Amino acid sequence: MRRRDFPQIELRETAAGRVAYLAGTRFTVCWIAGMVPGQLALEAFAQEYDLIPDRVRAALAYAQTFPDEMRSEREHAEGNWRWIDALNSAAHRPPAVDPGKRKGKRMLPA
């Protein structure tokens, strides 16, 4: 049914489950829906990414038709970003120092 109604959209199996993409691209429908019109106008988005505006409209129509699917994909993506941010902050955190191994600390003989 979806292929018939939305021929510009292809569903791909990913680690996150089945995800809707604009056919022939690496753009998820969820990402497009978040960019247009939130950050870019449809025509500007199409021009920026060398897409035909009608294909972008097809992605937006799909996103409007399946809002629960878009919400789920957005939540999954946000979870991934939180995980990446946590890894990045842990990588920039100074290593924990064992109080008994501090430089310059003198230990008295027993």
Chain segment 49-101, per-residue pLDDT in tens:
999 999 999 999 999 999 999 999 889 888 888 888 888 887 776 666 665 55
95 belongs to a structural domain = no
pTM: 0.73
Separation CA 14–CA 76 (nearest Å): 12
pLDDT in tens, 23-56: 999 999 999 999 998 888 999 999 999 999 999 9
Comparing CA positions, the residue from 64, 63, 58, 30 lying closest to residue 46 is: 58
15 belongs to a structural domain = yes
Q: How many CB atoms lie within 10 A of CB 76?
A: 15
Strands (E), 15-73: 17-22
Query: How many structural domains does the chain have?
Result: 1
Q: With the CA atoms of 82, 88, 90 and 95 taken in that order, what torsion angle do they form, in degrees rounded to the nearest 10?
A: 180
70 belongs to a structural domain = yes
